[in-house]
Each structure stands twice: as structure tokens, then as C-alpha cells.
Chains A and B, each alone.
Chain A
Amino acid sequence: MSVIAPNFKLSEFIKSILDNAFWILLILALIGIPAVQVILFYIEMPVINGELLTPFLALTWIADPSRTLPIIKAFMTTDLFRIAAFPGFGFAALLAAGTIFVERKMLAKLQLRVGPFYCGKIEGILQLMGDGLKLISKEIIIPAKADKPIFWAAPVLFVATAAAFVALIPVAPGWVVADLDVGLLAVFAIIGFFPIITILSAWAANSKFPFIGGIRALFQMVSFEIPLILSLLGAVILTGTLNLSEIAASQSSFPWIIFLPIGAIVFFVTMLAELERIPFDLPEAESEIVAGWLTELSGMMYGLVQLGTYLKLYAFAALFVVIFLGGFNGPMLWPPFPEEIITEGIELGPVTAQIPGLPVFSQEVLNGILMFVLKTVGVIFFILLPRGVFPRIRVDLLLDLGWKKLIGLAFVNIFIALGLLYAGILGPGGII
């Protein structure tokens, strides 16, 4: 008999699983399917060949495989796809998961150890999945004296805010969830939300260590927000627009980091502070204040905050790429789509398959995505690197750095941009 579960019986275990499956199916049939059908009426469906794509029409690809690609392409034009899958949440979450894996393995190599190794056979590639399952299956404990609604809402709001940040990033020409003319202002507004959520969560926990951590986070984020905003203004002065897609497109011949290196450095340092990465991880300094404002979060609440943190990391790295490194611009590395597949089809033995709807993405878009991902991964690597090299900074030194040095440097950057503009070298009507 097992020591861990003395009353364990396999037959009862299987029975309980079947029981659960039965109830899940019943609930799905009675509530789920009608609910989905009701929701489907309100979702804007794509238009294909001039007719509105209904769910029945969408299923015609089973009978006619040649309709598959046009239907997929029609779906890709919808807002739902953009928000949930490609330039939005799914793409960002995928990059964030990759970031966590790279961080673990890179840090392990730096510290002469192996890192995740067993989970998923190949270099522990499924470790993150295992962690996620563990966090989901853990009990969520709320402190007795916590302000429960706010404490519950804070992790969800954190992820939502991070996802809103992701929505503003142009990934490829024309591929952005929200193409706002005030894009950069929206970025500043979203960054302003993070300290509010942090202090709400910390205060609602009604515990000492989260409270100290929350106050530290507030100090840090508020004092670094000012140099962060100022450091981005150089690029705005030179391009004359706040639209992130236009800022990215304006760097087709050279990235702004060549002319605004000081702004890039200031932005990078403030970015580390906003992300609470080492050496600026004071709000989570474990040897001083346990886990800071995350101390009382348990189970999937903690998992949500971690997801939000890495989404935020991706979004900040992407913003750095868009403003200083040229975004999706770069040398054309992606090979052009072979024309003969469109005109002649693919030979599959005796039959020649004609595939309508090709290519799904144009060569420019694919190359833009490639350039964007390469640059973002590079920036993320440099964000992760200080964790292996630096100890934690102290709060007074941090505020000293933020208020005295970085703000001054950000103003120097603005003066450089203004000088370049008025000398007529760059900007609208410039000689370059």
C-alpha cells in the first residue's frame, strides 16, 4: 500500500475521472455550446469573396481543401486574430516563454551549472510548462485581513495592462493591433498604470513586507518614468510624429541609435528599472523583504504576475527596437516566394495541386517579422545579462541615479535632437 495515499484504489480513481468527464460534457452540451453560438452572432466575421463568412461557410474547407487558405487569410484580417494571435497576445506570450527559457539556460551557463535539464528530454524545454501546471494546481491563499476584491483584481489587471502595452507595438509593416496616432502617448499612459497596480496589490495584502515592497516599487517606477519619457522625446522631435509605426518606418535607411546614443542608453537603464530587473530589483529584494510586493501572492496569482512581467519585458524590448533600432526595417534576408508554385502548382506525384491564396504573407512582411524578432531577442538578451553580473543596488543610490544623472542625460539627448533638427541635418526637410 502506498504511504502517500493509503486509501488509493485504481478503480475508484478511474471512476472519478469518468465522473468528471461526464459532468464536463453535460455542462458543455447544455451551457457551453449555446453560449458559444450566442457569442458567435456578435463577433464580426470576415468577408470572403464578397460574402460574409458564416460558421457553416467556414467549415466548407472540409469538402473543398482549396478554400482552406482563403478562409485562413480572411480570418487573419479580423481584429480577433490580431488581438489573440499574431501581433498581439499569442505572439508576445510565445516570445515571453522563449525569454524565460533562454534566461534560465543562459544564467545557468554563466554560473557554471546546467539549468533545467530533465523536463521535456531536450535541455528541459518543457520546464516552463511544468511550472505553469504546478502553479495552476496550487491552492490560492488570501491573507485573512486582505482587501479581497482589490487583491484578486491586481494580478489580472497587471496582465491586462501588460497586454495593452503589447497591442501598441508594430511588428511588421501594417501588422499592429492598435495603430494609434498618439501611440507613444498611449505607451506613457500604460506605463503610468503599473505603479498604481503595484501599490494597490501591495496595500491590499495588508502585510508588512508587501507594503515595503510596494512603496519601493512606487519610488522606483515614478522616479524612473520621467527620464524614460524624456529619453524617447528625441526620436519624436526628429520624426515629428507620435505614431509608432511611422517612427519605425522613418528609420528605413538608418536607426536613430546612431544619432541618439545617449537617449538609447538612458532608455535602456530606465527600462531595467521599470522592469524590476537586477540590478534594480529592489521591490522584490528577497534577502531584505522576502519577495516584496509579490510576497502574499500564491498559486496562479503569482503565475499571472510573472506572465505579466515577461509580457512587459517583451513590450519594453520591442519599444526599444521600434524607437532606436529601426523596428522592422533591415536588409532583405527572407527569400522571395517562388512564383511557379502560384502559377503552376506543386507536383505531388501524378497530380499537380493548385493552391489558391498563396502567398499568405508577403515577402516584406515576413522579412519585417524576422528583423523585428531578431532585434527584439538581441535586446532581451542584454536585458537578461546584468542578472548574472551585478548585485542589487540600494534604494538611495537608485533614486540618486534616477533624479540626478538620468534626467540630465535625457535633456542632453533632447538638445542633441533639437540641434540636429535646427541645423537642418535630420527631420522633415533635412539633408539626410
Chain B
Amino acid sequence: MSTPTLPPGLAIQKADERIMTLNVGPQHPGSGHMRIIVQIDGDYIVACDPDPGYVHRGEEKMAEYRNYVLNIPHLERPVIHDSCNILYPYVLGVEELLGLEVSERAKYVRVIASELNRCVYTMYWLAIYGIFLGHSTMFMWPAGDRELLIDLLEKMTGARVTHSYFIPGGIRNDLPANFEDVCLRQVNYFEKRIKEYADIFYDNPILISRTEKTGILTRENAIRLGTTGSVLRASGIDYDVRKKEPYDVYDELDFQTNVLKSGDSYARSKIPWLDMMESCRIIRDALQKMPKSGSVRVKLKPNPKGAIGSVYKRVESGRGALGCYIVSDKKAEPYRVKLSVPSFRNLIALPHLLIGEKLGNMPSVYWSLNYWPVEADR
């Protein structure tokens, strides 16, 4: 009789007097909905085993039992703060399968909603990064300033977090009257506000001394481990899906990507903040270039059936390249929906970064990977 293989952490390990095993999570203020099994020798981490899967909800399987439109509300659940971006590749893929043409105005509105949502997500992430470093003001400020953009999104979509705004063939409803002025004003104020974070957080000498030169991910390792998004850009690789494979109207908009060379926790925490300023720039540009009127959605048949075939679409979400692979077999429901999420890919780097670090660096390195536990579990 062979012994069953136990999940990591449950297996009995040979006792070592010097090594202490810590279960950080799932009920730990510094873990999120996951567990990190850390082995420490004194104050140094000698082994680290991230153990996600506590919030697995079977989103991909659920998608096989609902038609293309009914899939929208539940597919955005993994990252409710970034719900427009996680729906984006799915909607783009379904449009290709169903052969729908999206109007120019709808494309611009999608870009605005997606950039607003990226900022909302990043602010939430930044708030938690602040509290992970013991900086409670940095928890409250982003959580408060995030309200500005949530109000805007509420005006656009009617919901504060789970918007369900993108549908195959456009967006659910047109912008309210006078939206452009309100949006411009709020976004300008938001940009002014986030620039103030440099004073209290990013230029803070204690923060710099804590996060600089910790958890260094070299350029080669970043490529080898397959990281995406801000983690990749912090290691000196200029890769952004919005630039490399522009979707919707990103090729017509004026923006740039932010790249830092050092690859440490500080750079990884700074990139999303710099990206938010670029997002503000994109929103302003899109508001200017957007057609002032026109239809925003295509009329869909009930239970639309896709052509036989498969499609893979990628977008740049708040965390990195987010892909969606859809296989259709000429039914109203997709045969298979696979989300390729950036969180899971960035998590792969965690054991490599934590080995040899001090225990005190664990929260800052872990959260600088721009990781969202629920998205990784799907």
C-alpha cells in the first residue's frame, strides 16, 4: 500500500532544530485568501511554498453552462475591483466568434471604463501595500481617493464595483449627459492627489530603506519565470499589451509605458503608481478623441451561437497580460473558457524572491508582485 501524497504543509517533515515552519495564512493579516508556508532559520527565509486555492470557485466550468451573455456577470467576480479588465478579453473573443462589429464610440467608452477600473484596482492594491508595510495613512488615503473614480464608474454603469458593463457588441448603456466634464474634472483632481503620495509614501526614507534592494528579480529571471505586467516592467522589460498588441482604440491614443531597471520591491511598487498617471493621460486623450454621439451597442439575437472554432484574446489588466481562450462548437454556450490570469503567473516568482530574505520583508515582497489571490484561484 502506497502512502497517499499529502498536500504541501500537511506532509510530516523531518524535524530540524534550527528550522521553524510558519503557516502564514489563510487566517493571517498578511496573506490574503491564501497560505504561504515559510520555513525560517532565525530571521531568514530558507524555503517558501505559496499555496493558493482557498477561493476556487470554478468560474471556467461555470462558463460552460451559460450562454455567451449570461457568462458576463460571473466571469468578472474573480477581480471585482478590476471587473472591466477581466471581462475585456472575453468580450473581445466573443465578438470575434459571433462576428460582431463594435461602433467607434463604444470602443472609446470601453477604453475609458477600463482605464478608470485599472486605477480603482491599483488604488486598492496600493492601500493594502501601505497597510502591509505598517503605514496606516497609506491605507486610508488611496481607499478614500478611490471613491472619486468609483463615483464616475457608478455614473457610467450603475454599479460601484461589479459593473457588467462590457457586452459582446459594445457596452450596456451609453454615457450619461454631461459625463465628459465631470470625468475630466474628477480625473484631473485624482491625478493631483496621487502625485501627493510621493511625499508621504514613495519618497519616505524608511520605505525606501525597507523595500530597496529586497526581492530582486533580474531581467533574465523575469523572462524565465513568465511574469507579466508591472513585475515585468519593473525588471527592465518594456512590455505592455496595450502597446505591443493594441486592441480597440489603444493604437490611436497617446501614452507611454513606464519601465524601471532595478527589479526590487520598490520598483515593483512604484510601477503601478506611475501607470495610474498614464491612465489619467489616456482617459483625457480618449475623452477628447471620442465621437460625441452614435450607437454604443449591436442588437444581439437571443441565445447567439458562435461559429465553430477557437479564439484567444489578450488585454493589459491592472496586474498584467490577461488572456482568455474560448472554444466554440456552434452552441449557445461556449465549449470551454480558459482565463490565463496574470496573478498566478506573478505568484510563480514568489518562492524565488523570498529565499534568503528576512521575514520582515515577506509582506512587502509578496504584495509587490501585484497579486490578487481570488483571481489566481478563479
Contact = CB atoms under 8 A, between A and B. Distances in A.
B133 interface: yes
A392 B28 contact: no
Contact of B359 (A113, A212, A278, A387): A212
A287 B140 contact: no
A286 B29 contact: yes
Contacts of A397: 209-210
Interface stretch (B79-87, B200-208, B273-281): B200-208
B308 interface: no
A389 interface: yes
A395 B43 contact: yes
Contacts of A389: 137, 200, 204
A288 B30 contact: yes
A208 B22 contact: yes
Given A112-B141, A290-B29, A279 B363 contact: no
A391 interface: yes
A391 B360 contact: no
Contacts of A208: 20, 22
B352 interface: no
A51 interface: no
A391 B204 CA distance: 8
Nearest to A108: B140
A282 interface: yes
A287 B138 CA distance: 14
Nearest to B128: A287
Contacts of B326: none
Interface string B28-63: 111000000000000100000000000000000000
B165 interface: no
A316 to B, nearest CB: 21
B45 to A, nearest CB: 11
B134 interface: yes
B291 interface: no
B363 A287 contact: yes
A387 B138 CA distance: 11
A124 interface: no
Contacts of B137: 110-111, 388-389
Contacts of A111: 136-137, 139-141, 144
A208 to B, nearest CB: 6
Interface string B108-152: 000000000000000000000011111111111100100000000
Contacts, number: 81
A390 B204 contact: yes
Contacts of A128: none
A97 to B, nearest CB: 21
Nearest to A394: B360
A281 interface: yes
Interface in B161-191: none
Contact of A390 (B28, B43, B135, B362): B135
B218 to A, nearest CB: 22
Contact of A287 (B20, B22, B133, B209): B133
A208 B134 CA distance: 21
B361 interface: yes
Contacts of A112: 140-141, 144
Contacts of A286: 29-30, 134
Interface string A95-116: 0000000000001001111000
Interface in B14-32: 20, 22, 28-30
A182 interface: no
A281 B135 CA distance: 11
Contact of B360 (A209, A278, A288, A387): A288
B297 to A, nearest CB: 38
Contacts of B363: 287-288
Interface of B: 20, 22, 28-30, 43, 130-141, 144, 200-201, 204, 206-207, 209-210, 358-363
10 contacts: A110-B137, A111-B139, A113-B144, A279-B134, A288-B359, A390-B206, A394-B209, A394-B358, A394-B361, A396-B43
Given A278-B134, A389-B137, 18 more contacts: A111-B136, A111-B139, A111-B144, A112-B140, A112-B141, A113-B140, A113-B144, A286-B29, A286-B30, A287-B30, A288-B363, A388-B137, A390-B204, A391-B130, A391-B133, A393-B209, A393-B210, A396-B358
Interface of A: 107, 110-113, 208-209, 212, 278-279, 281-282, 285-290, 387-397
Which 4 pairs between the two chains have the least Cβ-Cβ distance? Answer: A392-B134, A287-B30, A111-B140, A391-B135
